[in-house]
A and B are shown apart, each in its own frame.
Chain A
Amino acid sequence: QVQLQESGPGLVKPSQTLSLTCTVSGGSISSNNYYWSWIRQPAGKGLEWIGRIYTSGSTNYNPSLKSRVTISIDTSKNQFSLKLSSVTAADTAVYYCARAAYGGQNYYYYYMDVWGKGTTVTVSS
C-alpha cells in the first residue's frame, strides 16, 4: 500500500524559500501510471493545487504560483520536492503531497487517490 510522507521545516522566514520533500513508500515513484502533486490549504480555507511532476521530470504548475514554484523528482530516493520562493505570510498553510491517477481518451481525468498526512508551514520572522 503506497504511503506518502511530507517533511521539511515548519517555520520559514518571509522572503526566504520554502522547501519540502515527499517520500513515497510501498511503491515506485517511477511508475508510468501516476503523477505526483503538491497541494496546500491555509487554515480554515479550501484546497489549492500547487503543481505536479511526472517520473520523467515534466511539470505543470498553478499559474498563480508558477513564477515562484519548482517541483523536482529524485527517483533514486523515491522522493519529490517542492520549492516555493519569496514566501510571505500568505503562504502559511498545511502542505500536502499526493499521488494522482490520470488518463482518458475523450476526456482527461486527473484525481488524487493517495495523500500524505500534511505538514504545517508557518511563514513568520
Chain B
Amino acid sequence: SYELTQPPSVSVSPGQTASITCSGDKLGDKYACWYQQKPGQSPVLVIYQDTNRPSGIPERFSGSNSGNTATLTISGTQAMDEADYYCQAWDSSTVVFGGGTKLTVL
C-alpha cells in the first residue's frame, strides 16, 4: 500500500519560515493537499492540489510538489500556526494520510 512519510516534529522561531515535508513514491505524479489541526479541533484544509489555498487561508501558507516530495511552507510563521499538519494524497482508490507533523513555534 502507498505510504506518505512526514517528520514527527518541526520547530521554528516566530517570523521565520517553516517547511514541512511529505515523502512518497512518485508523489509528484499525484496531487497533494495539507490539513492543519489544532488541539481539540477538526482538521482544516490549508493547501489543495499541491499549491492552492482555500478562501480564508493566509497567504503565508504555500505548497509545492515535485519528484517524491511535497512541501508545505509557512512564511513569517506566527504563534497561531502552532498545530499538527497532515499531508494527504489519493492512491488506488483510497485516501492516504501522512503520519502528521507537530509544528512548534518557539
Which residues of the other chain, B, contact A21 by a CB distance below 8 angstroms? none
Cα A115 to Cα B36 with chains together (Å)? 12
**Given A104-B31, A113-B54: A47 touches B86 (CB 8 Å cut-off):** yes
Q: Size class of B's contact patch?
A: 20 to 34
Query: Contact partner of B45 among A62, A63, A113, CB < 8 A?
Result: A113
Binding site for B on A (CB under 8 A): 37, 39, 46-49, 52, 60-63, 96, 101, 104, 107-113, 115-118
In the complex, the answer to whether B42 meets A111 with C-beta atoms within 8 Å is no
B9: CB under 8 A from chain A?
Answer: no
Binding site for A on B (CB under 8 A): 1, 29-31, 33, 35, 42-45, 48-49, 54, 86, 88, 90, 93-100
Which residues of the other chain, A, contact B88 by a CB distance below 8 angstroms? 47, 111-112
Which residues of the other chain, A, contact B86 by a CB distance below 8 angstroms? 46-47
In the complex, the answer to whether B43 meets A47 with C-beta atoms within 8 Å is yes
Cα A95 to Cα B86 with chains together (Å)? 16
Cα A38 to Cα B86 with chains together (Å)? 16
In the complex, the answer to whether B49 meets A111 with C-beta atoms within 8 Å is yes
Q: Nearest chain A CB to B81's CB is how many angstroms away? A: 19
Interface centre among A52, A61, A110, A111 (most CB of B within 10 A): A111
Which residues of the other chain, A, contact B35 by a CB distance below 8 angstroms? 47, 112
Closest to B45 in A: A113
**Given A101-B48, A104-B31: A110 touches B95 (CB 8 Å cut-off):** yes
In the complex, the answer to whether B49 meets A109 with C-beta atoms within 8 Å is yes
Cα A111 to Cα B49 with chains together (Å)? 8
In the complex, the answer to whether A63 meets B94 with C-beta atoms within 8 Å is yes
**Given A49-B95, A101-B48, A104-B31: A109 touches B100 (CB 8 Å cut-off):** no
In the complex, the answer to whether A107 meets B42 with C-beta atoms within 8 Å is no
In the complex, the answer to whether A108 meets B90 with C-beta atoms within 8 Å is yes
